[in-house]
Structure 1
Amino acid sequence: AGELLKKGQLVYLEGKLQTRNWEDKEGVKRYTTEVLCDTFTMLGRKMDNNGERPKSPPLEDDEDDLPF
């Protein structure tokens, strides 16, 4: 998945959480929690070739049509 995803992209994933512990070089006990992903789905709009979202067209100002 790492080669498919870019920072900031929305994804939905299903899987399990796994927590591990170890001792670092100074003997301090450390913990890490990882997601063991079974499936994931990319959400949101597709990215362009540069890894950026295409620009959205500007919103039109329709305040004159409001009934109040």
Structure 2
Amino acid sequence: MTNLVILTGRIARDPEARETQGGTSVTGITVVTDRPARDKDGKTYKDESGYTAKDSEFHRVTCFNGLAKTVGQYCSKGQLVSVQGRVHYTQWEDQDGIKRYGCEILADKVDFLSRASGGDNQDAPPID
């Protein structure tokens, strides 16, 4: 059995990097993917501009250790990336005792498909 996710999309906001008490680097990004929107009959349709309407989905992606450092340093909002990893579900109780659920992608690999917008990133790893 396999739990494999591959996403290609744009980073919605700048990465959020932190370090755990144990010294593990963790960086979170949100990747936005689009797909054609469909009407109640299941057909795609055009928006007011004449383009195919799209539905966007936002995916929470978490990176660890060396990957976390690289993503935190070289990625920024608007950059096109490809993420490979696995789906991870969590559950917890909030302050009011209500059971909450979450879903995120734990990244094994992040490929930079475009350069970060703004800033000098001459030291950034090469794009394949």
Unaligned runs of 5+ in 2: 1-70, 122-128
1:46 positional shift? 4.7
Distance 1:40 1:5, change over 3 A: same
2: CA distance, partners of 1:7 / 1:46:
8
Q: Which has the larger radius of gyration?
A: 1
Indicate whether 1:20 and 2:121 are aligned: no
Decide which of 106, 113, 118 is 1:36's aligned counterpart. Answer: 106
1:2 positional shift? 2.4
- Asked whether the 8 Å contact 2:74–2:116 carries over to 1, the reply is no
Aligned twin of 2:76: 6
Unaligned runs of 5+ in 1: 52-68
The alignment partner of 1:2 has SS state of: helix
The alignment partner of 2:74 has SS state of: coil
What's the C-alpha RMSD, in Å, of the aligned pairs?
A: 2.1
Aligned-residue identity in percent: 37
State the TM-score, normalized to the length of structure 1: 0.61
Give 4+ residue runs of structure 1 displaced > 2 Å after superposition: 44-48
State the TM-score, normalized to the length of structure 2: 0.35
1:49 positional shift? 1.3
Instruction: Judging by fraction of residues, say which structure has more strand.
Output: 2
